Amino acid sequence: MATITCITAAAAIPTPKLSLGKPLSFVSSKSLSFPSLKPSVSSLKPLDPTKFSALSPLKCSPNPSPSPFPPSLKSRLNNGETLYGIFLLSFSPTLAEIVAHSGYDFVVIDMEHGPGGINESLQLLRALTPTNTPAIVRLPESSATWAKKALDLGPQGIMFPMIESPKEAKKAVSYCRFPPDGIRGSAHTVVRASNYGINEGYLSNYMDDLLIMCQVETEDGVKKVEEIAAIDGVDCVQMGPLDLSASLGYLWDPGHKKVREMLRVAEKGVLKSDPKEGGAFLAGFAMPHDPPEELGRRGYRMVSGTVDVGLFRTAALEDVRKFKISLREGSDDDDAEDKDADEKYWSE
């Protein structure tokens, strides 16, 4: 380390005359000490990796840890599980994160009835990714263009609305497959579904975990439901109770006896098929008169129990109702006050 000789403040220091190539008069060459900065290139030797563990090649463990990614929806269905999910209609990333941390088995991003499109769906997928919550994108319509754009985002599943015949179901499947098996347009080298081209095995396994769902929600669709369920590539047939009631003339009464009877016909038609033999699983949406528990008992393997907007609406209405009731009843109810005293504000 260099050391500099101290000079007292009382000493008179004459103004030095600077000249190139000569040391300063007030600095002794012996007072400064620096190491040599001219190492010989020939003296540099390559590092021996055997002496530095950090430079040694990585060795793979004979028993690698399991994959951090949970089983896909498709594999869970094939393993006999019944899955419970929710529809996201608000396209709120914040609500998507809350849903992701709540334990739902899957989330349906609803582009058919929600206000969002492809870009908004991408934000929801990113919100769901940290928890590995599987997402299914419901298309606005059954078309090759919408399917292509949705699949490029990389969801685990895709839902085609208003499928009324096996021909339409076959087209839907073709929209999901690259040529020669289908007509899906390819940009697999740059899209999110392939990790922007980093996943080199994408083309060889992209269909392994992709869940293709066809919605049957009209009287004509119910008549062809067995044939739809038998189409190669159709993994699930999703019942649409509201549109089914509308097609039967009972838009304002989805719980009507004739609607329920038609729904049972569709359910039985799907349940006749064996997913292990090329058939499809039964999926559906719960209604106030037909709760999710009932769907599970009737053989539904994917049950969507609610919509994010509906949950918030119900909570908001109940919050206002309780406060209005408290104003009418007054604040002299000591028992009720003591009961609520320990409740946390954020639990409301």
Residues tagged active-site: 113
For helices 93-102 and 308-329, angle between their N-to-C axes, nearest 10 degrees: 90
Contacts of 315 (CB under 8 A, 6+ apart): none
Measure Cα distances from 240 to 9, 73, 163, 175, 219 in Å. 94, 20, 11, 22, 11
Query: Using CA atoms, how far apart are residues 263 and 253, in angstroms rounded to an integer?
Result: 14
Residue among 189, 185, 198, 193 at smallest CA distance from 210 = 193
User: For residues 174 and 183, is the Cβ–Cβ distance under 8 A?
Assistant: yes
Alpha helices in the chain (DSSP H): 73-78, 93-102, 118-128, 144-151, 166-176, 202-205, 219-223, 225-229, 241-247, 257-271, 292-297, 308-329, 334-340
Query: Using CA atoms, how far apart are residues 192 and 195, in angstroms rounded to an integer?
Result: 5
Measure Cα distances from 123 to 4, 99, 119 in Å. 62, 14, 7
Give the position of tokens 């008169």: 289
> What are residue 303's DSSP bridge partners?
84, 284
Residue among 304, 281, 277 at smallest CA distance from 104 = 304
Could you tell me the two tokens for 329?
């009843």
User: For residues 73 and 134, is the Cβ–Cβ distance under 8 A?
Assistant: yes
Expressed in angstroms, the distance from the first to the final Cα of the chain is 67
